[in-house]
Amino acid sequence: MNLVDLDNPADGLSEQPRERTESVISTKSRVSVTDLINPTKSSDPPQLKSRNSVLDLCNPKDVDISSSSTPDLSRRVSETSNAEIAVVKPKVAEATQNVNSETSNQKNKTKPKRYKVKPVWAKDFVPKVNLKVQNERRTQDNHSKAFSNMVNNGPTTASSSRFSTFTGVIPYDDLTRSVTTWLYANLSSLSEKHPNLEDILELEIKVGEVVSKATDKRIQLPVITETTLNNNFFLQECYFNINLEPADHQSVEDFFKQLLKDSKVTALRTDTIDRFFSHTGARGKKTRLRVTQDTTTKRGDIVIEKDKKSSLAIHLPKCRYDLKLTIALELPQNIPKDELMPEGSFSRRKHRTSYIHKPSATQVDLTKVYEGNSKQENFEMELEIDSKQLLNVFKGIGGNNDYESLIGTFLDNAKILMRELSKK
């Protein structure tokens, strides 16, 4: 093996390999970082196809290696017109100024903001209270103690069965007591203002459904027995629908026809038309009036102002319908017809059958109602108590328990009808 002389590399090499080595060395150029960033040298480096140095990435003027400036695309082409920029620019400046002012205010504040008026989110929750109901409740509270004292000091009901209570007395029914207390408070107030109360008083029980305003369906309360409803809750959350199903109306009518055969009740039939008018008094007070015409006897029209005083709703969860007690005054009015202003063409044609049960001083009205010119029938049922007997037992409170017994019987009559309908 021949050794190659390092000082003379040509020795020991053939002619052809020497020529290829010289060609590679001559064509390969030396490029340094200094040459790349200094283009003023006489030997210009080849153009780079991509910028891959830190200096190029940090170049804010977007200057290429060849020192020629190339604007960014966003600065070369703009789709926004000068007019649009002129409109937006003041808004941006204003928003920026507001942000800066708020930031400076927050920095300058050393104490939290004090409000002259308490903001809504900081106010205590106060439930809505109907003023009419509140005044009514206050009146009931003023009379309830007096009523309780008179009833408790009066005669008691002894137990008649062979099983007796500790004291030998039957406790009062809570539903009946709540109704009698509510009624006593109203009768005490009305009797002071109206000496002829027995001629104008109307106490009745309407049959229907307590409907939720939110769902437009009958209410579903977490109770399983009958209960009276708070008036604030009833007026704010509910309304009363007095419409009766035709089949239920017929069932009640059949029930009373059987009692009529047994001579336990008497029947009275009437056909009337109710029209509604308004009248403005001397002091500018506007009242709503009902004009009733008897279409059977053709008697003169009766003008009535119905003044509703109070109501109490009773929910019967086990029955198909609920009850609503109402106290109202029916005030006859002697007003010439030419002074009455009709309230539209609304009218109510009523075909009514009244069943009267004298032992309980109760009258049941079954009515078919036609509104306006409509041929569609609506069915209603009401129970009304005899006002004269009611006021007689009201005046005798304390000497006997007839007052609470009469009201309890009145409610029991309504419950009997409701449970009769629930059998179907």
For the chain, domains (ranges, CATH) are 174-421 (3.20.100.10)
Task: Provide the pLDDT for residue 85.
Answer: 67
CB under 8 Å to 221, separation ≥6 — which residues?
Answer: 227, 315, 317
Cα(86)–Cα(90) distance, rounded to whole angstroms? Answer: 7
- Report, in this order, helix, strand and coil percent for the chain, each rounded to 5: 40, 25, 35
For residues 316 and 16, the model is more confident at 316
Residue 129 reports pLDDT greater than 60: no
- What is the percent of the chain with per-residue pLDDT over 70, rounded to a whole number? 66
More confident residue, 298 or 246: 246
Strand intervals (E) in 89-244: 201-212, 227-228, 238-241
Report, as an integer, the average pLDDT of 77-103.
Answer: 68
Assess whether pLDDT exceeds 60 at residue 15.
no
User: How much is the mean pLDDT over the chain?
Assistant: 79
User: For residues 70 and 298, which has the higher predicted lDDT (pLDDT)?
Assistant: 298
Inform me whether the pLDDT recorded for 151 exceeds 90. no
Q: What CA–CA distance (Å, rounded) separates 394 from 184?
A: 8
Percent of the chain predicted with pLDDT > 90: 45
Residue 335 scores a pLDDT above 60? yes
Question: What is the pLDDT, as a whole number, of residue 328?
Answer: 97
Confidence of residue 6 (pLDDT cuts 50, 70, 90): very low
Place of tokens 């080595």: 21
Helix (H) or strand (E) holding 275: strand 266-280
**Tokens 């060609």 belong to residue:** 23
Enter the tokens of residue 369.
């109602």
pLDDT of residue 120 exceeding 70, the answer is: no
- All residues at 6 or more sequence positions from 136 whose CB lies less than 8 Å from its CB, including other chains: 185, 186, 231, 310
Burial class (CB in 10 A: 0-12, 13-18, 19+), 150: middle
What pLDDT does residue 1 have? Answer: 45
In contact, 404 and 174? CB cutoff 8 Å: no
The answer to which of 96-105, 207-216, 218-227, 404-413 has the lowest mean pLDDT is: 96-105
**pLDDT of 46 higher than 60:** no
Query: What DSSP character marks residue 14?
Result: -
* Element holding 294 (H helix, E strand): strand 286-294
DSSP 8-state symbol, 302? E
Nearest to 416 by CA among 360, 335, 370: 360
pLDDT at 379 over 90: yes
Q: Which amino acid is at 295?
A: T
Mean pLDDT value of segment 276-286: 84
Residue 336's pLDDT is what?
Answer: 84
How do beta strands 341-357 and 362-371 pair? Answer: antiparallel
Cβ atoms 265, 256 nearer than 8 A: yes
Q: Which residues pair with 293 in a beta bridge?
A: 273
Q: Which of 382, 385, 407 is nearest to 240 (CA)?
A: 382
> pLDDT tier at 168 (50, 70, 90 boundaries)?
confident
Contacts of 31 (CB under 8 A, 6+ apart): 45, 46
pLDDT band at 118 (very low <50, low <70, confident <90, very high): confident
Nearest to 202 by CA among 333, 14, 384, 8: 384
pLDDT at 107: 58
pLDDT, position 223: 94
Best mean pLDDT range from 32-41, 260-269, 334-343: 260-269
